[in-house]
Amino acid sequence: MRIRTTPKTAVALVAGLALVAGACGSDDDSSDSADDAEEAVDEAEETLDSVADEAEEAVDTAVDDTEEATENSAAEETDEAAGDGETIRVGIVAPSASNDLAFTQSMVDSVERVEAERDLEVAITDGTFVVEDAAAAIRGYAEDGFDLVIAHGSQYGGPLEEIAPDFPEVSFAWGTSVDTFGLDNVYAYTTNADLGGYVNGVMAAQLTESDVIGVVGPVEVGDAKLYVDGFSNGVAATNPDVTVNVNYIESFSDVALASEAATSLVANGADILTGTAQMVVGATGVATESGLPWFGTQSNQTPLGEDIVVASQVYHWEIVLNQMLDSLEGGTLGGETYTLTFENGGLEMEYNDAFELDEAVRASADEAVAGLTDGSLTTGVTE
Amino acid sequence: MWSDFFTVSVFVATLASGIRLATPFLLAALGEAVGQRSGVLNLGVEGVMLIGAFAAYFTKLKTESTVLAVLVALGVGAVMGLIYAFVTVIMQAAQGISGIGIYLFGLGFTDLLFQKQVGTPQPIPKLAKVEIPLLSDIPWIGEIFFQHNLLVYLAFLLVPVAWFMINKTTFGLNIRAVGETPEAADTLGVSVNLTRTFTIVIGNTMAGLAGAALALEVGIFQQNLTAGQGFIAIALVYFGAWRPVGVMSGALLFGIVSATVLTLKTLGIVEGAASSLLAMAPAILTIVVLVVVSRRIAAPAALTRPFDRAAS
């Protein structure tokens, strides 16, 4: 059973309408702008309080919906009651849309795969690109007794470190990170994104004709940095003469800036592009427009450009989710770190069949994957 | 590295990029400037831009018609203008808080529509470049100024149009009058409410067009696509001292500085922490100029003040 909510949407809609309606009710006839400003500040403060309350209410509503749906489902599907264990309630808080073809979708797709094998109740709160909204949702799930609350974003570490000690009976997980804050009820999960980055780099180095490759990154942290560094090292290991120009735009969400960064990379000679994080949809547009090959990561990005996407490194978070759930069922609430790798099946290269990739290039990629899996090859990336 | 930066090709590409980046800011800020000259502040520009962006994106996705996409964006912008005019002019609501309401509505509404009507991001063809005959062939100049999409040309053509409207027409005189002393304008027979309604509709229509320019330029829509551009546009109105040419200067400065930062990063001239700091350069520069301008030029005297004929 899975319930997806976007409190941000509901709150924004309600708050927007309420603000406009509330403003219409104003009986202020003062012409003094200073008074107006003071009143505006007061109203803004009230509004912020109201928005915060509504955010909590939205999470509560989501939880109630989940419980209700689960009860109904249980009544309807008694014959299919799962296993002999108790249902585990999982709340997920993620920064972007569930179908972003990137970071959030990689988790949502993984949860769907886990749900097929285990008895879970899952509630997802997506679109919480504002960290304060995410913190409210995390706390909301914990207060409502969810067994595992996943904060899917490295930017959520700060609030999670504050919230987790208040709920010692609730298990929390967050990523990408390796830091559990020394807390017994916090799991950390990460991905060796440099592995797939390296493989993509091996292929890109063989496809480039201009010997210049462009990379659009968000902020130089976490799996984004790992991917970019792995990609650069894969290129260098294959053809040291190729230049990799990297442009971190300092934003996970600015699509327009990602688009312009890609344009800048192309203008400076890049004939292959890659990138990571949610805002790359802007960069893939430039690749499509210019007819340049694109290498993806996080999710299979072929839908963003069926003619230009060569391959994508796909995150299978179900590997770490199952490890966490096994540990949770064993009575351990946290304190451990899990990592996606080629070896444990958490990372996988998916190729776009519509892109005619040279067999020799594909073979070199397969060889790199094999080497990175058995440990005979390393990416050279150190965190 | 620096030697790569100081080349003609990089210089030309950076300026052309700056003009593209400036376009949504310019369209939104021009419209907002017209509204503010009449005494109406609209903090909801960001929300209307989002609605315009989604409208243009969705129309293009479903009909493949760019013209229709732009027209729909203009239409929804105008409708949002009528709503905002009703709230702030007819109902005389506080402009600041009403604008925030419009922003939040736009943010939530477009996300809701996108999730329900589109789902997974689906690319649309980007707006095609139109090379102006003869002019686009001029070395350097042609690539910088005359190889853009039509909305870029339209944005810059609207600068003299806005200047002419504000400074050389009776309607423009009315706009300035109701923005400075609405009571006096009313005494002279100028309909303050009607004038403000027109400027609000103009401003919101421009914001809708700005959103369309953004969505059609990047060829996709995503939650919070505008990423704060509407708020920067409002700052650029103050930056430009409520004058179309000043607004254009501010938009160009912001766009070109942003493009320069991107180029410096692309060429690997700045990396790591320096890169992060440099990314803030456009905003810092805007704030600095804003402080300087605000000390020299006063805002329209009646800005944010509702007009109540009975009380005047």
Residue A27 has pLDDT above 60, yes or no: no
Confidence (pLDDT) at A53: 57
Do A14 and A134 share a domain, yes or no?
yes
Say whether both A119 and A86 belong to one domain.
yes
Which among B120, B220, B224 has CB closest to A99? B120
Residues A163 and A216 in one domain: no
The DSSP-derived string for A100-130 is SSSHHHHHHHHHHHHHTTS-EEEEEE----S
Per-residue pLDDT at A243 exceeds 80: yes
Closest CA of chain B from A33, distance in Å: 7
Confidence class for position A15, pLDDT limits 50, 70, 90: low
Tell me the shortest Cα–Cα distance from A252 to chain B, in angstroms.
10
Selected residues 18-47 of chain B with any CB under 8 Å from a CB in chain A: 20-21, 24, 47
Model confidence at A21: pLDDT above 90 = no
φ and ψ at residue A222, rounded to 5 degrees: 55, -145
Q: Are A250 and A368 within one domain?
A: yes
* A293 in Cβ contact with A282 (< 8 Å): no
Q: Which residues in chain A have Cβ-Cβ distances shorter than 8 Å to B267? A: 245, 268
| Phi-psi sector, B5: left (phi>0), alpha (psi -120 to 50), beta | alpha
Q: Chain A residues with CB inside 8 Å of B263's CB? A: 264, 268
* Residues A163, A222 share a domain: no
Average pLDDT, stretch A111-117? Answer: 92
**pLDDT recorded at residue B250:** 92
Asked, for residue A339, whether it belongs to a domain, the answer is: no
Same domain? For A154 and A283 the reply is: no
Q: Which CA distances in Å does B198 have to A66, B84, B158, B204?
A: 48, 11, 17, 10
Query: pLDDT grade, residue A37 (50/70/90)?
Result: very low
Chain A residues 34-53 with CB within 8 Å of chain B: 36-37, 39-40, 43-44, 47
CB contact under 8 A, B93 and A129: no
Cβ–Cβ of A101/B120 closer than 8 Å?
yes
- Report all structural domains of chain B as residue ranges with CATH numbers, in order of start: 2-298 (1.10.3470)
List the single best residue of B54, B113, B218 to mutate versus A (max A Cβ within 10 A).
B218
CA B141 to each of CA A265, A303, B144, B250: distance values in angstroms, whole numbers, following the listed order:
21, 37, 5, 21
Is the Cβ of B53 closer than 8 Å to some Cβ of chain A? no
Whether B94 sits inside 8 A of A43 (CB atoms) is yes
Same domain flag for A18 and A131: yes
Say yes or no: A162 and A220 in one domain. no
Test the B interface: residue of A11, A20, A36 with most B CBs within 10 Å: A20
The verdict on a CB contact (< 8 Å) between B263 and A264 is yes
Residues 192-221 of A with CB under 8 A from B: 214, 219-220
* A338 belongs to a structural domain: no
Asked if the Cβ–Cβ distance from A257 to B258 is below 8 Å, we say: yes
**Residues of chain B with C-beta less than 8 angstroms from the C-beta of A14:** 108
Q: Are residues A11 and A152 in the same domain?
A: yes
In whole angstroms, what is the distance from residue B131 CA to residue B133 CA? 6
In a domain, A181, yes or no: no
pLDDT digits (tens, 9 = 90+) for A157-186: 999 999 999 999 999 999 888 999 999 999
Closest CA in chain A for residue B214 = A256
| A113 lies in some domain | yes
In tens, the pLDDT along B267-290 reads 888 776 666 777 787 778 778 877
Environment class of A294 (CB within 10 Å of its CB; exposed 0-12, middle 13-18, buried 19+): buried
Tokens linked to B281: 């350069």
In chain A, the number of structural domains is 2
Q: How does pLDDT run across A329-352, given as a tens digit for each residue? A: 999 999 999 999 999 999 999 999
Q: Which of A175, A207, A237 is the endpoint of a domain?
A: A175
Please indicate whether, in this complex, the C-beta atoms of B96 and A13 are within 8 angstroms of each other. no
Cβ of residue A28 closer than 8 Å to a chain B Cβ? yes
**A67: domain CATH number?**
3.40.50.2300
A56 and chain B in contact, CB less than 8 A:
no
Whether residue A191 has a cis bond before it, omega within 30° of 0: no
Residues A359 and A377: their CA atoms lie apart, in Å, by 21
- In this complex, which of A33, A37, A101 lies closest to B121 when CB atoms are compared? A101
- A116 and A162, same domain (yes or no): yes
Kindly tell me if the per-residue pLDDT of A40 is higher than 60.
no
Q: Which of A24, A129, A260 sits opposite B87 (nearest CB)?
A: A24
By residue count, chain B amounts to 312
**CA–CA dist A38, A363 (Å, integer):** 68
- A197 with A305, same domain: the answer is yes
pLDDT value of position A3: 57
Q: Which of A12, A33, A284 lies closest to B123 in CB terms?
A: A284
Q: Look-up: residue for tokens 């934003």?
A: A251
Whole-angstrom distance, CA of residue A212 vs CA of residue A203: 13
Higher pLDDT among residues A68 and A132, named by residue: A132
Facing A99 at nearest CB: one of B24, B87, B119: B119
- A163 domain residue, yes or no: yes
Q: Is B7 on the interface with A (CB under 8 A)?
A: no
Check B111 against A8: CB less than 8 A apart. Answer: yes
A175, A208, A227 - which closes a domain: A175
Mutant choice from A260, A278, A298 vs B, greatest count of B C-beta within 10 A: A260
- Which residues in chain A (351-370) have CB-CB distances under 8 A to chain B? none
**β-strand pairing of A88-93 with A212-217:** unpaired
Mark whether A274 and A165 lie in a shared domain.
no
> Is B106 within 8 Å of chain A by CB?
yes
CA atoms of B84 and B78, how far apart (whole Å): 10
In this predicted structure, what is the pLDDT of residue B223? Answer: 85
Q: What is the pLDDT of residue B145?
A: 95
Asked which of A109, A144, A175 is the last residue of a domain, the reply is A175
- For A23, the closest of B97, B258, B311 (CB atoms) is B97
Question: What is the number of other CB atoms lying within 10 angstroms of the CB of residue B2?
Answer: 8
- Closest chain A residue by Cα to residue B270: A247
Sole residue written with tokens 């700056």: B18
CA distance A367 to A203: 11
Residue A135 belongs to what domain range? 2-24+40-73+82-175
Summarised one tens digit per residue, pLDDT across range A64-99 is 555 554 444 443 443 333 344 689 999 999 988 888
What integer pLDDT is reported at residue B125 of this predicted model? 92
ipTM topping 0.90: no
Please judge whether A19 and B98 are an interchain contact, meaning their C-beta atoms are less than 8 angstroms apart: yes
Q: Do A16 and B219 touch (CB under 8 A)?
A: no
User: Using the beta-carbon criterion (under 8 Å), do B96 and A8 form an inter-chain contact?
Assistant: no
**Residue B197 to chain A, least CA–CA distance (Å):** 16
Instruction: Give the one of A12, A250, A261 whose C-beta lies nearest to B276's C-beta.
Output: A250
pLDDT category of residue A38 using cuts at 50, 70 and 90 = low
Q: What is the pLDDT along chain B (312 residues), one digit of tens a residue?
A: 677 888 898 999 999 999 999 999 999 999 999 999 999 999 999 999 999 999 999 999 999 999 999 999 999 999 999 999 999 999 989 999 999 999 999 999 998 999 889 988 889 999 999 999 999 999 999 999 999 999 999 999 999 999 999 999 999 999 999 999 999 999 999 999 999 999 999 999 999 999 999 999 999 998 889 988 999 999 999 889 999 999 999 999 989 998 998 999 888 887 766 667 777 877 787 788 778 877 777 889 989 888 887 776
User: In Å, how far is B165's CA from the nearest CA of chain A?
Assistant: 27
A295 lies in a domain?
yes
**What phi and psi values does residue A246 have, to the nearest 5 degrees?**
-110, 130
